[in-house]
Copies of this chain bind each other. A is one copy, B any other.
């Protein structure tokens, strides 16, 4: 029994990591295991470690309580058990812990701080050059985004035919010089010319993704990891069951300890040629068994929703099913699933040929407000054409659109809501979207949104005893204008433009 004493102090929800030398003969990824048990006053956590190459094994742990912990590392990868202890200190100012579900439909960090997800999608920003990654992080740092969806596997799709910076497995890819905008669809799944060892991970690929997860954590952004996806020419979407299981366990043992990780089992699960619901349920089992921290879990559709009622799913991760209605269906989905409704794809702002990637900034922002005022959480993406074919939606880089500039304003409106989260009011008229706080008294706060409509006034009938402060919100121009204090019956003048809202708050 060897006693280890490094990383002596770690903050709550930080990472305590044990690195040990072990056997490296044969295939360490499959032949050996390493495990850790971490014991503190309030928890007792068993975690799986992973092989990190060069004979090194790593066991990672995210403590959820302050105080003294002891640990024990064991497994056939090492000759003898290792033990040690460390101290968990208070979290630093920007560390609020992992995101959890609150009030059925909403989110908060584990320390209770409300979390209002405003996500974006850059599928493989992490697999671009260092310069491009730096540019993406700079863009994100200056944005209002607090969640980003991206893939572990490289992506093969229109505008995405280049080679990734690295591959997840040892081996060699097919020759991509044969690909064109026209023929790329012929190269899907397990294509001729690829030669991978699905039992040997390319450790550098995963180390790099960890760097990206950490970089996002540093700027307060949740990493919504897409673990599998169908846009593939390398065969990563059609591995065998034991290869998939090995992959899932490796991903879980490497990434689980990062507090900002969310698990998205798949992007467009329903487009995989060789995977059944049984497979997805099997992966879900692996996650639930191997993630001791209960990170958020979901799975994203193309055409047909996964059954979000499944108990392992923590929140809906929806792609709209209708060209015209997306956020407008949030009420229905809340009713149906009784879980947070995250709209990870409501079409992207841009001007490419595809209908999923060519809505205007005004329409994107309208969908954002529509979703929020119905008690859901919208997601962004950008697909503006440019000469270099660098589209935010898959590469990251710079933003070119108009909607994203207006998200900070929206988040501030949400932050100014009593309690955590908005809900559709039951008193909502057919020609307005009326939001009230999810878990607070209905009478103290109302947010009316008028979407594409352009009323020049609206009438209200509140009780005669209570004073209400009225404000007119221009959601596009980001202006809030006071419109007096009223009680009983009153009328509020509006400019007769689309995208206006009215906020009415009880004067206390």
CB within 8 Å of B: which residues of A?
323-325, 328, 351-356, 358-360, 363, 385, 429-432, 452-459, 496, 498
Given A324-B325, A328-B324, A360-B498: A355 in contact with B431 (beta carbons within 8 A)? yes
Give the complex CA separation of A328 and B355 in angstroms.
15
Q: 18 A-B residue contacts at CB 8 Å?
A: A323-B328, A323-B430, A323-B431, A325-B325, A351-B454, A351-B456, A351-B496, A352-B455, A352-B456, A353-B458, A353-B459, A355-B430, A355-B432, A358-B431, A358-B454, A360-B452, A360-B454, A385-B457
**Which chain B residues lie closer than 8 Å to A360 at the CB level?**
452, 454, 498
Among A457, A458, A496, max chain B CB count under 10 A is at: A496
Distance, CA A356 to CA B354, complexed state (A): 32
A455 surroundings in chain B (CB, below 8 A): 351-355, 358
**Most chain B beta-carbon neighbours within 10 Å: one of A363, A429, A432, A452:** A452
A interface, by DSSP: helix, strand, loop or mixed? loop
Residues from chain B with a CB closer than 8 A to the CB of A385 are 456-457, 496
A248, B456: Cα distance in complex, Å: 40
**Smallest Cβ distance from A18 to chain B, in angstroms?**
51
Copies in the complex: 2
* A61-B453 Cα distance, complex, nearest whole Å: 47
Output the nearest chain B residue to A326 by Cβ-Cβ distance.
B324
Instruction: Tell me the minimal C-beta distance from A27 to chain B in angstroms.
Output: 46
User: A324 — which chain B residues lie within 8 A by C-beta?
Assistant: 324-325, 328
Residues of the B chain whose Cβ atoms lie less than 8 Å from the Cβ of A355: 429-432, 453, 455
Question: Complex Cα distance A328/B354, Å?
Answer: 19
Give the most central of A351, A353, A458: most B CB within 10 Å: A353
Report chain B residues within 8 Å CB of A459. 353
In the assembled complex, the CB of A262 is this many whole angstroms from the nearest CB of chain B, namely 29
Min C-beta distance of A324 to chain B, whole Å? 5
CB neighbours of A458 from chain B (8 A)? 353
- Residues of chain B lying within 8 A (CB to CB) of residue A457: 353, 385
Bound Cα distance A359, B499 (Å): 11
By a CB distance below 8 angstroms, the chain B residues around A358 are 431, 453-456, 496
A323 to B429: give the CA distance in the assembly, Å. 11
Contacts of A454 in B (CB 8 A): 351, 358-360
Given contact pairs A323-B430, A324-B328, A359-B454, enumerate 20 new A-B contacts (beta carbons under 8 Å).
Answer: A324-B324, A325-B325, A351-B455, A351-B496, A352-B455, A352-B456, A353-B455, A353-B456, A353-B458, A353-B459, A355-B429, A358-B454, A358-B455, A358-B456, A358-B496, A359-B453, A360-B452, A363-B452, A385-B457, A385-B496
- Nearest B residue to A429, CB-CB: B355
| Cα A508 to Cα B496 with chains together (Å) | 49
Complexed CA–CA distance, A430 and B328 (Å): 19
On chain B, the residues within 8 Å of A453 by CB distance are 355, 358-359
A458 to B352, CA, bound (A): 8
Residues of B within 8 A of A363 (CB): 452
Give the distance to chain B from A414, nearest Cβ to Cβ, in Å: 23
- The chain B residue sitting closest to A182, CB to CB, is B489
How near does chain B come to A466, taking the closest CB pair, in angstroms?
21
Q: Looking across the interface, which residue of chain B has its beta carbon closest to that of A453?
A: B358
* Chain B residue nearest in CB terms to A366: B452
The residue that A359 contacts in the complex, of B325, B351, B353, B452, with Cβ under 8 A, is: B452
The 7 closest A-B pairs by CB, nearest first: A355-B431, A351-B496, A351-B456, A358-B453, A358-B455, A353-B455, A358-B454
- Residue ID in chain B nearest A350 by CB atoms: B454
> Whole-angstrom distance from the CB of A16 to the nearest CB of chain B?
49
Chain B residues within an 8 Å CB radius of A452: 359-360, 363
Chain B residues with CB under 8 A of A353: 455-459
In whole Å, how far is A104's beta carbon from the nearest beta carbon of chain B?
26
In the complex the two chains form, what is the Cα distance from A340 to B359 in whole Å? 31
